Amino acid sequence: MDFIATGFIKAIELLISGDAATWSAILATLKVSTCSMAFSLGAGLPCGFLIGYFDFKGKKQLRTLLDTLLSLPTVFIGLVVYAFITHRGPLGEFGFLFTLTGIAIGQTILAFPVVTAITAATIEGMDKELKLTLITLGAGKRNILMTCLWEVRYGILAAGVMAYGRVMTEVGISMMVGGNIKYNTRTITTAIALETNKGQFADGIALGLVLMLIAFIVNLSVSFLRKQ
């Protein structure tokens, strides 16, 4: 059991001393997760709103598909993205393989259904009087979209937090698409997997602590926003 306690102590030392490999993995994780969250929120919120707000033919089937995509395995997304961006793939010419951009694409695909499905469910559960109230106060279509999203902001925050949780903790996409290249595409989760395999528990625990800290900061921010 000593190795766990030793690991904790060494982890703190690594973080405080500014170990280059550890901080490189942390920065890579923050970069790709921020990027993928920005894209998935940018696309997922309007899509979720449209699906939740309007009734159309095939809506139920689309919701079923979205709910299925919620549990999409990360290795499968990694495989599909790899197939598309590898040199022989349709997007091979862009050179995304083994880059942070490639990981961000995969993580966007992972987070998009989470944001879309939860936003759609939140909008569907919205008070029906809201739409009527907004129309009769003179709101145009854009005002209705923005006000509805604002009214269900807690639900949307939950969607963002859930999606962020999936993005931050995934290993499959980062490993397959990023290649786990030190100082380049190594993220916190791939680094933990590697260091644990090597028996370097201290590095793994240090990165695990950072993940926990990020999760704590995100939840603290959400809690603060809710109070506002």
Partner 1 sequence: MPEAVAYQLKNIRHYYENTCALNVDELQIAKGSITGLIGPNGSGKTTLLKLLAFAMPPSCGDIFYNGKKEGCFSPVVRSKITLLTQKPYLLKRSVFENIAYGLKIRKDCRNLDSRIRTALAYVGLDHAQFAQRKWHQLSGGEAQRVAMAARLILKPEVLLLDEPVASVDTQSARLIRTASLNARDQWGTTLVIASHDLQWLYSISDSQLSISNGNIFATGIENIIPGPFEETREKTVIKKLEDGQILTLKKPENKKNTAMIKKDCLRIKEDNGSDNQLSGQIISMLAGEKSSHVLTHICVQELSFTLKLVPDQICRMNLYPGKNIVLQFDSTDVEWI
- Contacts with partner 1 by CB under 8 A lie at 127, 129-130, 132-133, 135-141, 143, 147, 150-151, 153
- Nearest approach, Cβ of 127 to partner 1 (angstroms)? 6
- Nearest approach, Cβ of 128 to partner 1 (angstroms)? 9
**d(C-alpha 183, C-alpha 112), whole Å:** 28
- Nearest approach, Cβ of 136 to partner 1 (angstroms)? 4
Closer Cβ to partner 1, 80 or 144, answer by number: 144
Closer Cβ to partner 1, 146 or 213, answer by number: 146
DSSP state of 58: T
**d(C-alpha 35, C-alpha 66), whole Å:** 22
Closer Cβ to partner 1, 153 or 198, answer by number: 153
* Burial class of 11 by CB neighbour count within 10 A (0 to 12, 13 to 18, 19+): buried
- Nearest approach, Cβ of 123 to partner 1 (angstroms)? 15
Closer Cβ to partner 1, 47 or 152, answer by number: 152
**d(C-alpha 163, C-alpha 101), whole Å:** 18
- Nearest approach, Cβ of 139 to partner 1 (angstroms)? 5
**d(C-alpha 170, C-alpha 73), whole Å:** 9
Closer Cβ to partner 1, 149 or 175, answer by number: 149
Distances from the Cα of 227 to the Cαs of 26, 43, 160, in angstroms? 29, 27, 17
